[in-house]
Amino acid sequence: MVGISLAIHPLFFALGLYYALTGGIFLFIICAVTAVVHEIGHSLVAQSLGYRLNKIVLMPFGAIVVGNTDGLNFIDQTKIALAGPIVNLCIALVFVASWWVVPEIYTFTDVVVSSNLSMAIVNLLPIFPLDGGRITFGILGNYYGYEKAYAISKIMGLVFSAIILTIFVISVIAKVLNLSLLFFSAFVFFSSISRERENKYVKIFSVLDKERLKSGAIVKRYAVDKDTTIKRLINLLDTRSVNEVSVYDNGKKIAEYSQSGIEKLIESADIYSTIGQNLSKQSQNLSISSE
């Protein structure tokens, strides 16, 4: 979670102002905290896969993962997408269970439960870039390829935006004004027409910096087999230490990676490939250059 910056979408301020003017600022604060917790769920699972968030952007209906998870397979992308809603559902269940033990806290925690349930349900809608949309995008990508799946996801977002806006208009006609629907429609619309990926995932290398090294850092050495995948290697590494890796083949050392060598390997490699496969590629590249 180190090195993640926080940004705020303009619609978030607009929704906050609406809640402040209507006396719902406490609810808005709870929803904002819920959004951050939701995003932490995504970030922790992504970190276990060797990725981390570059930035968290607070939006009117959550800190939505719009990140670039290129290189991750559909199963891992789904794990990241589901992590946020699962965290929200777990929090809601914990508080609901606590009502049986300490019913007096219901008055203070019912908002927490409702905001977490809402966050989970809304984010499971098949709208890009919501979590449900990312899962749908992964499914479509397996059948139609990245570009076509991306276009279909965007079109679905525009359609849902129109549907939500229609529901808002109906609520106005029925004199049951719900401005949240208008904000939600605007959020989905602008997300659908935007090609930005503000919450981009980046591969984890190290969080070492000059100031940390001034105080001294631990050097950790690892011994792995050449059939170890890059993904497994990433999970082994300690981002707060200087890492060194020795690679073995049938008990014989065949390669040594320093911290900078590990970073170059992770940056250039497919995380599902093995270290041995990348060593072979390096050898082939050296042979071609020498010719």
31, 32, 38, 40 alpha-carbon torsion, rounded to 10°: -160
Number of neighbouring beta carbons within 10 Å of residue 177: 11
| Separation of alpha carbons 20 and 131, rounded Å | 28
SS3 state of residue 46: helix
Terminal-residue alpha carbon distance, the chain:
45
Question: What pairing do the DSSP bridges indicate for beta strands 51-53 and 201-203?
Answer: antiparallel
- Total count of residues recorded for the chain: 291
Q: Where are the beta strands (DSSP E) in 30-181?
A: 51-53, 55-58
Beta bridge partners of 246: 223, 256
Tokens of 272: 């599902």
Among candidate residues 195, 221, 35, the one with its CA nearest the CA of residue 131: 35
Answering whether pTM is above 0.85, one says: no
Radius of gyration of the chain (CA): 23
pLDDT for the residue numbered 2: 46
Give residue-wise pLDDT tens across range 244-258. 999 998 888 988 888
CA distances from 230 to 196, 263, 276, 278 (A): 28, 11, 10, 9
| Separation of alpha carbons 62 and 46, rounded Å | 18
pLDDT for the residue numbered 207: 57
| Separation of alpha carbons 60 and 122, rounded Å | 12
Task: Say whether pLDDT at 242 is over 70.
Answer: yes
Angle (CA) 70 75 80, round 5° = 70
Residues 203/222, Cβ–Cβ less than 8 Å:
no
Give residue-wise pLDDT tens across range 138-174. 788 777 777 787 788 888 888 888 888 898 899 888 8
* Torsions phi, psi for 140 (to 5 deg): -65, -40
If you average pLDDT over residues 41-62, what whole number do you get? 68
